[in-house]
Chain A
Amino acid sequence: TQLLEQSPQFLSIQEGENLTVYCNSSSVFSSLQWYRQEPGEGPVLLVTVVTGGEVKKLKRLTFQFGDARKDSSLHITAAQPGDTGLYLCAGAKAGGTSYGKLTFGQGTILTVHP
């Protein structure tokens, strides 16, 4: 069974602070995706990282895939109240062919206070 350990589970910070969320596994993934989920809605894809060591930036969000493709991180710079939500990492099994069968972490609930 492939597991993704996500940390921290809860994060409560002030507007303007920086934060990092981690996603770790002992398994190798062909790709790692990060999602954001609002209450009552489905997860929305933020980014997909595919290559070991890859770094992607999306405005104030920076995503990194570990060299061995077993871990990933999400860094948010100068967090804003609008960043509040549940952040999920999800991995696609190496060698898989369904292109959508994902193993999700348990999520990080981020609250940014004004």
Chain B
Amino acid sequence: GAGVSQSPRYKVAKRGQDVALRCDPISGHVSLFWYQQALGQGPEFLTYFQNEAQLDKSGLPSDRFFAERPEGSVSTLKIQRTQQEDSAVYLCASNMGVLQSPLHFGNGTRLTVT
């Protein structure tokens, strides 16, 4: 496809369960970003990859959050022992990784923790 693809679109988890969210960026995009968007708020940065290297994970809210991009393309955001406050839309975005390269967002995964 031409755009950033995320799956699943919706995920309901019971508190304490582990979840894995997938992002398939635009082909050729070296940079990949994860953002968290709470209801009624703007997105907040979580983490950033350049190819397979995770260069910035300063936005991950706790050590329950883990992201990987082992082959420099598809990325997975894993949340262990989910809590209610983890409920949000998780957005993935990618770009060419050069100055003023536009950021392309996927449609997100809406996570609801019950």
The count of chain B contact residues (Cβ–Cβ below 8 Å) is: 30
Given contacts A98-B55, A100-B95, contact A43 B41 (CB under 8 A): no
A42 contacts B107, CB within 8 Å? yes
Tell me whether A90 and B42 are in contact (CB under 8 A). Answer: yes
Q: Do A105 and B48 touch (CB < 8 A)?
A: no
**Is B102 an interface position by the 8 A CB rule?**
yes
Query: What is the predominant secondary structure among interface residues of chain A facing chain B?
Result: loop
Q: Which of A42, A100, A103 contacts B108 (CB 8 A)?
A: A42
Nearest chain A CB to B21's CB is how many angstroms away?
Answer: 14
| A99 close to B31 (CB less than 8 A) | yes
Tell yes or no: A88 within 8 A of B by CB: yes
Q: Is the CB of B48 within 8 A of A101?
A: yes
Question: In the docked arrangement, what's the CA distance between A103 and B107, Å?
Answer: 19
Q: How far is the CB of B99 from chain A (nearest CB, A)?
A: 6
Known contacts A42-B108, A48-B102: A101-B41 contact under CB 8 Å: no
Q: With the chains together, A106 CA to B102 CA distance in Å?
A: 20
User: Is B93 at the interface (CB under 8 A from chain A)?
Assistant: yes
Closest B residue to A89 by beta carbon equals B42
Q: Are A99 and B99 in contact, with the CB atoms below 8 A?
A: yes
On whether A102 and B103 interact (CB within 8 A), knowing A42-B108, A43-B43, the answer reads yes
Q: Knowing A100-B95, A103-B45 are in contact, say whether A43-B105 is a contact too (CB < 8 A).
A: yes
Q: Which of A43, A103, A104 has the most CB of B within 10 A?
A: A43
Complex interface residues of chain B between 19 and 69 (CB less than 8 A to chain A): 31, 33, 35, 40-45, 48, 50, 55-56
A-B contact pairs, 13 of them (CB 8 A): A44-B105, A45-B102, A99-B95, A100-B48, A100-B93, A100-B97, A100-B101, A102-B43, A104-B44, A105-B42, A106-B42, A107-B41, A107-B42
Residue ranges of B at the interface with A (Cβ–Cβ < 8 Å): 4, 31, 33, 35, 40-45, 48, 50, 55-56, 91, 93-95, 97-108
Which 5 A-B residue pairings sit nearest by Cβ, starting from the closest?
A: A42-B105, A104-B42, A100-B103, A100-B33, A107-B42
